[in-house]
Amino acid sequence: MATKAQMDKLSEAKKPRLKKNYVGIELEFLIPNKNIKAFKDALIEHDLETKVNLGTDSSVEEEDDDVWAKIDNWGGILNPEDQPEGGELRILAAEDEVTSVINDVCLLLREFGCYTNKTCGLHVHLDMRNRDAQKCYNNLFYMQDIMFKTQSKNRASSGFCDYIFKEYKDTADSHYYGINYSNAYRKHQTIEVRIHEGTINVREIRMWVRFLTHLVNMDTTLTQPQKNFQYIHLPNEVRLYLNGRIKKFA
């Protein structure tokens, strides 16, 4: 059984411990109420309390389609214990270990009946402590059109990841733009990318994180909007994955 100290650790906000580059990932999801305690225990059993922070998210909620699916499955009976709560699991890990943490977290999310819907998002914070933030912002900004093409139209119109125009970079409130520069940098010394739809699919999360970290790690500085991946030399696996999503949502 998890101790109070471990539970407290699980609810604590995490900060980088080393000088190496970190990645912060916010996974929004829904979880049946009856599974919340067991899910917390499982995160601790897998020694994840030092790398993740688990909280609630009031912007994540069950939709009508979710409710009717349950009623159909249960013959018209809606069990209160299966009513979901909106959650947000925040991962903080060094770039060289983040893949392992993503794998472990996604396995547990699925094991305990977690799921996503249109109210959920996937947000990635990219560490700027050791990087040229202006250059990284430009590379993300000029790939913005392609990033939005990899997502459904529902995501772009959600109100939580609006298209950002370059002049908004230094405004006081960029929180709900697809690329959150000023708020995230001021609070965490990161640039946050909020464009991806909610998912707990391990491959989708890994490919998206690899894409974003490639953009901020590459030597090239983009100076104009990009129409494809020609000039950024993505790993083949990531490029094929993203092109597949663009085709899916065309």
Residues facing residue 150 across a β-bridge:
none
Mean pLDDT over each residue of the chain, to the nearest integer: 90
Can you read off the two tokens belonging to residue 240? 């094929």
Averaged over 61-68, what is the pLDDT?
Answer: 62
Residue type, 4: K
The values of phi and psi at residue 158, to 5°, are -75, -20
Q: What are phi and psi of 92, to 5 degrees?
A: -130, 115
Instruction: Quote the pLDDT of residue 78.
Output: 54
The dihedral formed by the CA atoms of 168, 174, 180 and 183, expressed in degrees to the nearest 10? 120
- Which residues have a Cβ under 8 Å from the Cβ of 166 and sit 6 or more positions away? 141
The CA distance from 109 to 54, in Å, is: 12
Close Cβ partners of 155 (under 8 Å, ≥ 6 residues apart): 118, 121, 161, 195, 196, 197
DSSP E strand stretches across 97-167: 121-127
Per-residue pLDDT, 60: 86
Q: Flag whether pLDDT at 66 surpasses 70.
A: no
Q: Give the pLDDT band of residue 87 (cuts 50, 70, 90).
A: very high
CB-neighbour burial class of residue 177 (10 A; exposed 0-12, middle 13-18, buried 19+): buried
Section 114-121 average pLDDT: 94
CA-closest candidate to residue 49, choices 21, 19, 18, 13:
13
Give how far Cα 21 sits from Cα of 125, 126, 177, 231, Å.
11, 8, 23, 24
Angstrom distance (rounded) from CA 8 to CA 148: 37
Please name the amino acid found at residue 143. M
pLDDT of 79: 63
Is residue 207's pLDDT more than 80? yes
At residue 68 the predicted structure's pLDDT band, cuts being 50, 70 and 90, is: very low
Distance CA 99, CA 136 (A): 21
How far is 146 from 169, CA to CA, in rounded Å? 19
CA distance 21 to 94: 6
pLDDT-based confidence at residue 166 (cuts at 50, 70, 90): confident
